[in-house]
Structure 1
Amino acid sequence: MCAPTSRPSRTADPVEAVADRLSVSSGRELARSLLNGVGAEAVERHGPFSAALGAVRAVCRRLDADVPEVYAAASALDVDPCDAVAAEQKLESELSPPGRREDVERLTESITTYAVLLDALENGVAAADLSASVDVDSELVRRLDGNVTEFDPAAVREHLTRLRADRAMAQLGFRLYDVARDDA
């Protein structure tokens, strides 16, 4: 991590300033939603930049992204690392735990399978060609029994949307998922 050349602007959006300063590319909107949804007390007690750092770190963990090291990040942001840790703990205490990694992986596999099925439906690919082209759920291929046309593309698309929402909820935990949805 490069040393900062200047302090973040105290008038800037704290999440944006933290993410920019630490070169965090994913989860900005989610971290902002977290602060807007359940972060008022963390901001009041520990300051907006400490709370934003806590939100960015909490979200990075939920997204399985690189989590900025708290002491180096606090130094780069010119905030007290104890405040940053306390703010993060306060934010985490407001959240429900994420689902098990195995559940997220299973949902990801199902999403891949149904995305392949939808692509096949939209492009006229035969069911027999599905398993050869992509590693898809063998149970689904058995159910297809060579006839991809039995599936309604709109129903598959709707199911895919539900699977993606289920995965997001499992990955983020219900409370963070709900806060993000409400903030959208």
Structure 2
Amino acid sequence: MRQMVGNRLPKFTPQESKLVKGSLDFLGLNYYVTQYATTAPRSTQPNVITDARVTLGYYRNKVPIGVQAPSFVYYPPGIRQILNYIKNNYGNPLTYITENGVADLDTGNLTLPDALADNGRIQNHCSHLSCLKCSIDDGCNVAGYFAWSLMDNYEFGNGYTLRFGMNWVNFTNPADRREKASGKWFSKFIIKQ
């Protein structure tokens, strides 16, 4: 890594290295997607994006890695794969899934009945939770799962066009909120656990 990034990578004294090693209380993992990775050529203008020297994509030979959603392609087995990788390579730290979810696209033409009938979100969470259970059975030290998100909200980079919430929010009258099918499903799921 130092060979690729050079002096832009910080250097630690032996004392600093000793302080940092093993110092985390828990690992918070935001998991949404898994992507294919291919080697990218060295950039003539290196920066934090090009340092990895990787090109990411959801498709290989025009076949998606997982399920096509409005905002991205999601791949539930990837959550199990990354948790097992963390377990096997980083000492199995206490881990929380701090964000996981999928969005509906709303460019102004999503009707309220369609927004409330968010069966794709139910399938997304159900699939990810199933794979999460498998990772726990594999011995991964997972202590919690936070669904993104309780309510539709402002998404950086996309504004109000992506709706991740289990509760619909009327953005012109924020007092108007309605529970979506996914919110009802998630409530029942949590109670059963």
Q: Normalising to structure 2: TM-score of the pair?
A: 0.21
Task: Give the greater-gyration-radius structure (CA).
Answer: 1
Q: Normalising to structure 1: TM-score of the pair?
A: 0.22
- Structure with the larger RCO, 1 or 2 (CA within 8 Å, 6+ apart): 1
Higher strand share: 2
